[in-house]
Chain A
């Protein structure tokens, strides 16, 4: 993933052989190392979601005589959320492009658009959960609904954390501008955001589409 290996050092040109060279080298290495570390964290998050998916799939038929997913899930809202998140994944990419152009205002603007799309996604998810609870399905209804709310909710929690983080990052960029450190942070959050979109694709496919089939 090129984000992780292209943290640019600005005007600094030739590097020494090791990482003990000059001050700039240290900084450069640090930023690219942090991006690699974050990539590894994302891989561990893949395993985390994988375990939740495994649990959901194993327990998908265990509705204990209660309501099933097919009965209660309304696909319309979910389709809207899906496109919202998909678009936000794209806009977070545009933010990165603006950053590499050195356009601070463009960067903040596109991050704000991304965050707004993410917030709408969360709004729709909360609405859906409230609807489900009114229909008589909560986390304690049956194994199926426990697995449903946990899997979908964990994804939603990740998105919410990303939103707080994005706002914090916008404040930092407006104060400090585009520096190697804020660059790395933007690269990382855009990776995180693409990752959450990927997870949602599978939630959408396995929980919702296969659920209503």
Chain B
């Protein structure tokens, strides 16, 4: 009996690596600590009623952001481990196998479990407030999306200590990712982790498209929406059309591995190239999905801190929407070297160059917005200003890569690595940081310490250039991606050492940010006014943090930047708009179903990974029961009575 348990445990848990053992111990300890704290302070009920079952978009947004910052930490540690290995390959800090796992999980986590949820967090918090709505279109579905993401991410991450991590690269190209190439369980964790969270992302996409099209405050025309809302719309439309492709592609890979199908295998008539074709049909739009909202954030920030209306609003809208459309026509540039013939390569090279044009338009719009503005260099503005040159360089190296014949040289080299990190860090990460700093007071009702934020800013920026500029050179010198060692004779070591130093500077920057948050909480100072930055859009017209129902009265919108126009009008001596009488507010009830259903998905996914039939059946049956339970429940909403709104408003605005 004991032997059996021992044997099972040695298969179940990842063993034999001191680094992973350390992680296992620390995860076990922190779990114990969390459970102890929650029990000691009797917070279980609070956690369940206030957070786990909440359908409030603001709370869901905060949970997304917390999860994504934890994931940023894990993805970042992966990156640092890789850089240590590459700075001194002769030390063999990481086993080759472990190195493969780490570059795989780094990529997956950073894109799917860091960038996506951070983006969804900002969508959730900001979009309803900016369009003057009380929640998203489908609050229940929104909660389900979050928990699907969360448990998908957990399923992926658990592979680190149980069963073994995936190691076939972040997009898991077959035949390596097939059973023949990856017989371990890591690849199954990969498939199910991404699949479950991907369904959540798809639902979020639909949810926000409907929210934006159907739930704007009375009077707000499409062409009066804040630019961030436009960027969310374009991003979510892209999600709607791209994510089903991912779902299918991963499902087919799963069928290959689980049922012995032959879609992408080398035998049985399968074609691995088809996987690459399909995954990039999702993968290319995916990078636009994460960058478009960043463009929206920069537009908001630049206009707020230049005290000017955004320059070229219409061209900006046009640029966002056309990027969203054209992003579906460039996918083959990820595999020019596959040998699809000159016509295919020429077509996709041209579309790739074409899509750089609307992107360039936006850069000029931001510059002209700043031109002759009264610029205030707050932290959100600094991230925006730093983004512009960084993204321009990253974009131009991208255009270099889009030249198909030249790409045969750059393909899979460190030049490519440097390029996409420059657009993803310089664009996406900088953008989301700008957004986090900008909307932080709105989310939590207090400001972040500016001084520490500036330290973090400088460390991030200097670290970024020190880390990635040498990688362009390394790529041209012939260093390919995913190598874990090289000979000293290659002459790559000095630049690699510099690059590693840069990576650690960024790690230091992250510590500054954690310190900044901790410091700001310790010296908590409640925001007296909801309008932290003298903002322009509706979210700044209500208290921080916003009450449950956001707007006691739905705003009547007449202008673009309506809140700013209103403030100007009152400053010029105009009378404030008369207040309409309060009415009961219709709100959705909290529900435990999304959480439970996602746990069931996790169970089913875990069962599929280990091929434990009883667990698969239990999980899927649970999912079905949850869906039916939801279908049969009719008591899903309630009204907040007027006197309760009056009390809340008086308490929130009384201090003013």
Binding site for B on A (CB under 8 A): 17-23, 26, 29, 33-34, 36-37, 40-41, 43-45, 47-48, 51-52, 54-55, 58-59, 62-64, 139-144, 146-147, 149-150, 164-165, 168-169, 171-172, 176, 181, 185
Within 8 Å by CB of A20, from B251, B252, B255, B583, lies B583
Given known A20-B554, A139-B259, contact A45–B244 (CB-CB < 8 A): yes
A55, A144, A146 interface centre (most CB from chain B within 10 Å): A146
If over half of B's interface residues share one DSSP class (helix, strand or loop), that class is named, otherwise mixed; here it is: helix
- B241 and A44 form a contact (CB under 8 A): yes
A20, A26, A41 interface centre (most CB from chain B within 10 Å): A20
- B274 and A142 form a contact (CB under 8 A): no
B631 at the interface (CB under 8 A from A): yes
Given known A20-B554, A34-B138, A139-B261, contact A48–B255 (CB-CB < 8 A): no
Taking CB atoms and an 8 Å cut-off, the chain B residues in 580-599 that contact chain A are 583-586
**Alpha-carbon distance A203/B315, docked complex (angstroms):** 42
- A143 and B262 form a contact (CB under 8 A): yes
On chain A, the residues within 8 Å of B141 by CB distance are 37
On chain A, the residues within 8 Å of B249 by CB distance are 51
Give the number of chain B interface residues (Cβ < 8 Å).
Answer: 51
Taking CB atoms and an 8 Å cut-off, the chain B residues in 225-240 that contact chain A are 240
B424 at the interface (CB under 8 A from A): no
B207, B213, B270, B624 interface centre (most CB from chain A within 10 Å): B270
On chain B, the residues within 8 Å of A21 by CB distance are 583
On chain A, the residues within 8 Å of B271 by CB distance are 58-59, 62, 143
On chain A, the residues within 8 Å of B251 by CB distance are 150
B572 at the interface (CB under 8 A from A): no
Can you pick out 30 interface pairs between chain A and chain B where the beta carbons lie within 8 Å of each other? Answer: A18-B217, A19-B218, A20-B553, A22-B583, A29-B214, A33-B138, A33-B214, A33-B215, A36-B210, A44-B240, A44-B241, A44-B244, A48-B245, A52-B248, A55-B252, A55-B274, A55-B278, A58-B274, A59-B274, A64-B268, A142-B269, A143-B262, A143-B269, A143-B270, A143-B271, A149-B261, A164-B624, A168-B628, A169-B631, A172-B632
- 1/0 contact string of B359-394 vs chain A (CB within 8 Å): 000000000000000000000000000000000000
Within 8 Å by CB of B263, from A23, A37, A59, A164, lies A59
- The chain B residue with its CB closest to the CB of A43 is B240
B335 to chain A, nearest CB (A): 15
- The chain B residue with its CB closest to the CB of A27 is B586
B202 at the interface (CB under 8 A from A): yes
- B632 and A168 form a contact (CB under 8 A): yes
A115 to chain B, nearest CB (A): 15
Taking CB atoms and an 8 Å cut-off, the chain B residues in 207-225 that contact chain A are 207, 209-210, 213-215, 217-218
On chain A, the residues within 8 Å of B278 by CB distance are 51, 54-55
- A37 and B210 form a contact (CB under 8 A): yes
- B634 and A48 form a contact (CB under 8 A): no
